Amino acid sequence: MVVGCPGAEQITDADEAVAKVRRSIILQYTRQGRLTPAVRETLLSLTTSGELRDYAQQQDDLYLDKLPINGHLCMKMLKEIVAIGPRFSGSPGMQKQQEILEKYFANLGGKVQYQRFQARNPISKQGVETVNMANMIVHWHPERTRRILLCAHYDTRPFPDNDRDPDKRLGVFVGANDGGSGVAVLCALAEKMVKFDSDFGVDMVLFDGEELVYNSARDPFFLGSIHFAEEYAAKPPKQKYVAGILLDMVADADLQIYQEVNSRRMAPRIVQQVWATARRIGVQELRPNVRHEVRDDHLPLNEIAKIPTIDLIDFDYPSPQQRETYWHTTEDTVDKCSAISMAHVGWVVWEWLQGIE
């Protein structure tokens, strides 16, 4: 703008705020592959933040209604789980979550089972030496002998120990994206399962104890997936898993899932299939390059159980462009999550499942 030129418009703070809202919506729509010329034109014509947000919300709802995986349901389940509060291993919140999910999956026709074990309590005090752990396993079509493993961890970290404010590190961690999102996507996929017409059966496994960790340098990670993998290796079942997908941190409103290093190394065919599926259906948030090397529940599955399993994870939370992370902080809450992100991830998994031979 030219200052002092007669008739030149003054750019006010309010204009700047509206422009910021507009930019962020345009950016998100571009990332999600939804910015049509008509939508763009409407966004440019709206003049207040309220109008922009209302229009985006309305467009989002219309879009969600058309997706094969129910993003509204993902968000509903995510909110319900997060509302429980902390769900770390052995906590009352974990037990509450188990009750909700057990009922949910059983209602849809899943056969729910717990794989129970005990772990050493990392902060053992007298009388509390061990923690009761339970992986939740939901079988769909248990008679099918070749099986697919869809999994996520359902425990939350005991404390938000990565919070940038040291005073909050002993505060409450509710784990919306980290702990909740994988579960929410599996809940939406569960709706599809009874009618899943395939030679393959699906087992959903919710791992306990992914991060019963008070001190990262001292306490072991992946207790549930290690236990599951060891049992599978020690007593190989008739029903074999041919492939697995782990879902972790998949709800970020700014979703960008890169290929993960260990997944590419240990299960390259599944990475290739899943990314080809995303490309085919136009889910652009799965980016065709490698970014992070993540240690997660897929390691024991590959290394101990020899089940080729990939990790779908967006470790940049919210985005690679921002240095601050919500990961393991009090900021990991539902408002940072998106129904569309979860529905997109579920949709890719669902399409991949249907194409498996």
Name the site residues for Zn ion (rule: CB under 5 A): 178, 211
The C-alpha atoms of residue 120 and residue 213 are separated, in whole angstroms, by 11
Nearer to Zn ion, 178 or 285 (CB): 178
Smallest gap from Cβ 328 to Zn ion, in A, equals 6
Nearer to Zn ion, 196 or 327 (CB): 327
Nearer to Zn ion, 173 or 241 (CB): 173
Nearer to Zn ion, 174 or 283 (CB): 174
Smallest gap from Cβ 249 to Zn ion, in A, equals 8
For 226-251, letters b (16+ CB in 10 Å) and e give bbbbebbeeeeeeeebebbbbbbbbb
Using DSSP's 3-state secondary structure scheme, residue 278 falls into helix
Smallest gap from Cβ 140 to Zn ion, in A, equals 27
Smallest gap from Cβ 272 to Zn ion, in A, equals 27
Smallest gap from Cβ 76 to Zn ion, in A, equals 23
Nearer to Zn ion, 211 or 314 (CB): 211
Smallest gap from Cβ 86 to Zn ion, in A, equals 13
The C-alpha atoms of residue 144 and residue 330 are separated, in whole angstroms, by 42
Question: Shortest CA distance to 311 belongs to which of 327, 325, 300, 297?
Answer: 297
What Cα–Cα distance (Å) separates residue 204 from each residue in 142, 180, 207, 226, 250?
Answer: 12, 15, 10, 16, 16
Tell me 8's DSSP state.
Answer: P
Nearer to Zn ion, 178 or 208 (CB): 178
Smallest gap from Cβ 176 to Zn ion, in A, equals 12
Nearer to Zn ion, 178 or 314 (CB): 178
Residue with the closest Cβ to Zn ion? 178
C-beta of residue 35 within 8 angstroms of C-beta of residue 26:
yes
The C-alpha atoms of residue 128 and residue 274 are separated, in whole angstroms, by 43
Smallest gap from Cβ 157 to Zn ion, in A, equals 5
Using DSSP's 3-state secondary structure scheme, residue 347 falls into helix
Over the Cα atoms of the chain, what is R_g? 22
Smallest gap from Cβ 3 to Zn ion, in A, equals 50
Nearer to Zn ion, 190 or 310 (CB): 310
C-beta of residue 311 within 8 angstroms of C-beta of residue 298:
yes
For 31-66, letters b (16+ CB in 10 Å) and e give bbeebeeebeeebeebeeeeebeebbeebbeebbee
Nearer to Zn ion, 32 or 177 (CB): 177
Phi/psi-derived region of residue 109, left when phi > 0, alpha when psi is between -120 and 50, beta in every other case: left
Place of tokens 């991060």: 211
DSSP result, 229-257: HHHHHHS--SSEEEEEEEEES--BTT--E
